Amino acid sequence: MSKIVVIGSCSVDFTTYAPRLPNPGETLIGTKFTTSYGGKGANQCVAAAKLGGKTSMICRLGNDQWGDKYRDNLEQVGVDTTYVKLTPNVTTGIAQISVAESGENQIVIVPGANGLLSKDDVKNSAKIITNAEVLIGQLETPFETTLEAFKLNKGIKLLNAAPARTGIDDILPYCSILCVNEPEASLLTGIDVTINNAVTALKKLLETGCESVIITLGPEGAVYLSKHEQQAVHVLCEHVTPVDTTGAGDAFVGALATYLVTYKDQSMHQIIGAACHVATVSVTKEGTQTSYPSKFDAFKKEYKFTEL
């Protein structure tokens, strides 16, 4: 039985690289084009699998030229694909990505088969969902499907509330961990979230009913607060020169899930620090899943943190 189960999206990434991102209506000459595998759900699952996590993916792919290739890709990195369903008469999800030399990116997603992930898929995979030590969900597939899965799970329910959207109040009381970045936290709280007001944002998010909250801050690390603790903490990470930041948040989530399972005796700030380290490694390479590191000891050092 898989210890980490991901219910979510798979997309094929069509990525162009250019000196900078285009302005509205502007055409730029790029430097390179690549095709790779992405989608927030699959990214998180692959990140966990590459770090040694025992993972299973619940998703929909199109019965097109990309569906079989994508399933093969998941299997090659060790993901259980028992509940990966090829869906007729619909395309596999795609993402059009532009990456600047600075590492900044813009992404347009066409959901395709991801939009057909349903409660029936949850019913058909109910056993592994219920018994997963960590269940991961996002917001690139139908909300009601993810909610149904979170209601079933008896372990740690980790929601990466991305892409940013409102109207997700029903799922938040089921969340063991809500993980968002600054723009996502800003949308959910109605305040412009920065490190300076992060404690206010964390407390406001805890009021929604989730058990604990992580706000990722890119190169500034992450902040964390649980309803069982009095003090928020800011976990720091190493600063590097980014090559491609695409999928870094997914690397963090996948690593977080893996370390929650494999390092239960570690403090939460240490687990978050190790996940930040994995995300930092990922931005030093081009691509999404291809940039995620394979299994290594992320606990060789003590990660720095400050109380907020």
Show which residues are catalytic: 250
3-state secondary structure of 120: helix
42 annotated to a ligand binding site:
yes
249 annotated to a ligand binding site:
yes
Maximum separation of any 2 CA atoms in the chain, in Å = 53
218 annotated to a ligand binding site:
yes
221 annotated to a ligand binding site:
yes
246 annotated to a ligand binding site:
yes
291 annotated to a ligand binding site:
yes
73 annotated to a ligand binding site:
no
102 annotated to a ligand binding site:
no
**Which residues neighbour 15 within 8 Å (Cβ) at sequence distance 6 or greater?**
33, 34, 35, 36, 97, 98, 99, 246, 287
78 annotated to a ligand binding site:
no
Beta strands per DSSP E along 46-104:
55-62, 80-87, 93-100
- Return contacts of 128-133, CB within 8 angstroms, 24+ apart: 128/1, 128/2, 128/5, 128/56, 128/58, 128/83, 129/5, 129/7, 129/58, 129/153, 130/154, 131/1, 131/155, 132/1, 132/2, 132/3, 132/4, 132/5, 132/56, 133/3, 133/4, 133/260, 133/261
287 annotated to a ligand binding site:
yes
Instruction: Look up residue 232 and give its amino acid.
Output: A
Run of H or E including 47: helix 40-50
203 annotated to a ligand binding site:
no
User: Are 246 and 98 contacting, i.e. CB atoms less than 8 angstroms apart?
Assistant: no
69 annotated to a ligand binding site:
no
183 annotated to a ligand binding site:
no
43 annotated to a ligand binding site:
yes
238 annotated to a ligand binding site:
no
3-state secondary structure of 95: strand
Classify residue 109 by its DSSP letter.
E
Which residue numbers belong to the known binding site for ATP? 181, 216-221, 249-250
Which residue numbers belong to the known binding site for K(+)? 244, 246, 282, 285, 287, 291
Which residue numbers belong to the known binding site? 11-13, 39-43, 140, 181, 216-221, 244, 246, 249-250, 282, 285, 287, 291
Which residue numbers belong to the known binding site for substrate? 11-13, 39-43, 140, 250
